[in-house]
Structure 1
Amino acid sequence: MIDFLVIGGGIAGTSAAAMFAPLGTTTLLEAENTFAHHASGRSAAIFVEDYGNDVVCALNTASMAELQDMGALSARGLLMVGPRGHEVEFDGEVRLMQIEEIPFSQAQTLFPILNPTRCTRTAYTDQAFDLDTDLMMQSYMRAARGDGADLCLDQKVEKITKITQGWMVETKTDSFSAHILINAAGPWADDIAKMAGVVPLGIQPMRRSMAQLPPPNGQNMSDWPMIISSAGDWYARPSGASWLVSPSEAVPCEPHDAWANDMTIAEGLSRYEGMVTVPVSRVQSSWAGLRSFAPDQSLIIGPDPISPDFLWFAGQGGYGFQTAPAAATLLALLANGRESDALSPETVAALSPARFH
């Protein structure tokens, strides 16, 4: 009988395992043959403290120091571009993200291929950072293993049974008994809850796609910021020697191993091309991931109010990496009946599964 059994091997599950391993015997189960196979392996890998609703932003703020100490942040910057006809959206996003409007000439210095005939407004912040998601995954897995946790691949959960002392979880090849079950299953979190006889909370997976392009006209993009459209219909950023462009879609779907829709990619690239002076020459590759949202767009962190030995760690949406330090710490505190010093009681309540009951 182990103390803590974590289901899910993405950033949620691995960060949870790292937090719980010092507290007792811990095992993590991942269904795939690699960790971070789904959404965590397909992240936009950017940290913006004011990205998300107020609850998410509180987690971002509480996570930032640990991300810096981990060495996971590096300077990138973020440029918002406003297409003609979307001035209202531009003003709203500037207020929401608390960034400063700048002259077009300055924006063109930051992003030389910006189209002056289509872009009417621009805003910029240097408080946007690349996130080293691989470093984060490896750091959490190393910490978990260092404290004795078992991290298991190819262990798709097939059955969950409530037992006197906790839970029995069965996979195709093994069974595991644990006092506490931690549901960090991403798009499958509601399915895991149903399996356990716990009321699902309405988590909705949403597809988002990405296209990998060569550098526009072979330019050096290393200092270019992340670019987002204030219309919310595409974003772009450098990634090593490639230029990534996302259609920024949010298509509801069932949990699955997502893939990019060719038409969605084409439509997104068309919107992007309208705002730049260099057309897309070719797509090197494309992919998609599922971002999983609770009905109110905030994460779900803590014990289920009806089954308190079932811990929710789900609904990360597009914020899983940038909130991981504070979110995983909060989960461990709540499991031990302790309060958070970093987050207000109101924020903790807004993250609790109890808000849906």
Structure 2
Amino acid sequence: MLTETDVIVIGGGIAGAGVAAELAGERRVVLLEAEERPGMHTTGRSVSVHSETYGSPCVRLLSRGSRDHFLEGVDGRSFASDRGCLYLATEAQIERLDAFGGQPTVAPSIERIGEAEIRSLNPLFRPGVVVAALYERHAYSLDVDAIHAAYLKRYRRAGGVLECSAGVAKLEYSGGQWMAEAGSRNFRAPVVVNAAGAWGDVVAGMAGVQPIGLQPMRRTVALVDAPTGVDPSRWPLAIDIDEQFYFKPDAGKIILSPADETPMDPCDAWTEDVDVAIAVDRVQQVIDLPVHRVAHSWAGLRTFAPDRTPVAGFDRQAPGFFWLVGQGGYGIQTAPALSRFAAAMVCEQGMPSDLAEFGLQAADLASERFACRE
């Protein structure tokens, strides 16, 4: 069976769902998801926080352009809740903390605080260990499941077609059209959006398109009990300035991570016990947190482009092939802005005006910025 459409989107995670929802009102769209349901890999394992200071300068612009979407939510329900974010420094890390805080896209959003205020935000910090921090007051916890589900609901309401258990087995370009073989069906469209996450270069290779050099990296997360009698619900997210660990409250427990970045091939990632142990040890060095058991642990892949900034735009050497990959650890917090940008580019409508006012440029996201593709 052959389905004719305007745009084929490959990948039903937050990137694919977001751009599909934005496109569905303008184009006929088919969204192809390899798994039995969307969001089973990176999107479904995210503990995302919206921070306008996290990531590369371009990522920060996209995060800024996404804030209103999260705060407004849908049907009167916000996707965001107040959290705050602390970047932590020991005495030996002060210079790096101040260098980070002095960056033009960071400085307006943070304030430098000392040990007393750090301990007022979280009294479990060990005295004399973390001596300074940068505090981003307006950082938010995000309801990832609700954000993803809202995009899929909006997509279906606009008439979009979602095909699950439809991994792409073949992708060819002929006569101005892309033909995708997925599941037991064939789909044809002049535009294909590669939102395949860790499999982005695999999809490109299947299509005969030069890969970008995407690198999936495993990130480990563990969930532990809060100390008896301690309510961590108002703690801010805490990140080591050298990103050697982070921790945050979650439904009465505490999420912690060693902020590992283990290079992997695209796969369904699983935790390693040693990474969980490293996470516990690093966090225990800065806060008084007895850990008697790990309630749960999981891992996901964060897939980076070579410069750790997302890739979004048509490939100059492959007509109708649109990249939407390399979101790394910022895919959720940048999804609204990146989805709007990508949909505008696919429809040849130009940069959304608010993103242009923030200073975003299409060249910042284009695949041609990499030397291997010149």
Answer yes or no: same fold by TM over 0.5.
Answer: yes
TM bucket (normalised to shorter chain) is over 0.9
Task: Give deviations 1:63-96, integer Å, cap 9, x for gaps.
Answer: 2122222221211111222234322232233334
Q: 1:196 aligns with which of 207, 210, 213?
A: 207
Q: SS of the counterpart of 1:318?
A: helix
Q: 2:96 aligns with which of 89, 92, 97?
A: 89
**Which consecutive unaligned segments of at least 5 residues does structure 1 have?**
none
**Which consecutive unaligned segments of at least 5 residues does structure 2 have?**
none
What CA distance in whole angstroms lies between the structure 2 residues aligned with 1:119 and 1:268?
17
Q: SS of the counterpart of 2:312?
A: strand
For residues 226-265 of structure 1, the aligned pairs below 5 Å read 226-265=237-276
Q: SS of the counterpart of 1:278?
A: coil
Determine if the alignment matches structure 1 residue 168 to structure 2 residue 175: no
Deviation at 1:57, TM superposition (A): 1.2
RMSD of aligned Cα (Å): 1.5
Q: Could you tell which deviates more after superposition, 329-338 or 95-104? A: 95-104
Deviation at 1:313, TM superposition (A): 0.6
Pick closer, same or farther for the CA change 1:301–1:164 going to 2, 3 Å: same
Q: 2:329 aligns with which of 318, 324, 338?
A: 318
AA matched with 1:136: I
Determine if the alignment matches structure 1 residue 296 to structure 2 residue 310: no
AA matched with 1:229: D
Match of 1:347 in 2: 361
Pick closer, same or farther for the CA change 1:84–1:270 going to 2, 3 Å: farther
Q: Is the 8 A contact 2:198 2:303 kept in 1?
A: yes
Q: Is the 8 A contact 1:83 1:275 kept in 2?
A: no
What CA distance in whole angstroms lies between the structure 2 residues aligned with 1:60 and 1:122?
22
AA matched with 1:174: R
Deviation at 1:257, TM superposition (A): 0.4
What is the number of equivalent residue pairs in this alignment? Answer: 357
Q: SS of the counterpart of 1:12?
A: helix
Match of 1:53 in 2: 56
Determine if the alignment matches structure 1 residue 126 to structure 2 residue 137: yes
Match of 2:81 in 1: 74
Q: Could you tell which deviates more after superposition, 183-192 or 33-42? A: 33-42
AA matched with 2:278: E
Per the normalisation by structure 2, the TM-score is 0.92
Pick closer, same or farther for the CA change 1:175–1:231 going to 2, 3 Å: same
Match of 2:128 in 1: 117
What CA distance in whole angstroms lies between the structure 2 residues aligned with 1:194 and 1:294?
16
Deviation at 1:354, TM superposition (A): 2.4
Q: 2:150 aligns with which of 139, 150, 157?
A: 139
Per the normalisation by structure 1, the TM-score is 0.96
What CA distance in whole angstroms lies between the structure 1 residues aligned with 2:229 and 2:274?
26
Q: Could you tell which deviates more after superposition, 346-355 or 80-89? A: 80-89
Q: Is the 8 A contact 1:78 1:126 kept in 2?
A: yes
Q: Is the 8 A contact 2:17 2:155 kept in 1?
A: yes
Q: Is the 8 A contact 2:12 2:39 kept in 1?
A: yes
Deviation at 1:116, TM superposition (A): 0.8
Q: Could you tell which deviates more after superposition, 117-126 or 175-184? A: 117-126
AA matched with 1:9: G
Deviation at 1:179, TM superposition (A): 1.9
Q: 1:12 aligns with which of 12, 15, 21?
A: 15
What CA distance in whole angstroms lies between the structure 2 residues aligned with 1:48 and 1:243?
19
